[in-house]
Structure 1
Amino acid sequence: MVDEYIVSILLIIGIDVILGGDNAVVIALASRNLPEQKRNVAIIVGTALAIAVRIVLTVAVVWLLTIPFLQLAGGVVLFWIALKLIGQKDEKPTMIKAEPSLWKAIQTIVAADVAMGLDNVIAIAGAAQGHIGLVVFGFLCSVPIIILGSKIILYAMERFPILIYAGGALLAYTAGKMIAAEERLRPFYPPNGEALFPMAAAVLAVLLGLAAHRRSRAA
Structure 2
Amino acid sequence: QDVPRAIKLLRAVISLADIQPPPYDLQAATDLAAIRLLSALFKFLLDAFTNTSLSLSQQVSSLSAFAHLAFSLFRQHRRQFTPYPLYYDYQTMIKNFIFCIVKQAALDPSQPVWIGDAGDDKLEALFAYLRMLGGHDSAMSLAQLEGRLGAACDIKSTFDRHPELLAGSRRLQMSRIEASDHLRRRHWTGDLTPANCNVPASWRHGRLQAV
TM-score, normalised via structure 1 length: 0.25
TM-score under structure 2 normalisation? 0.26
More helix by share: 1
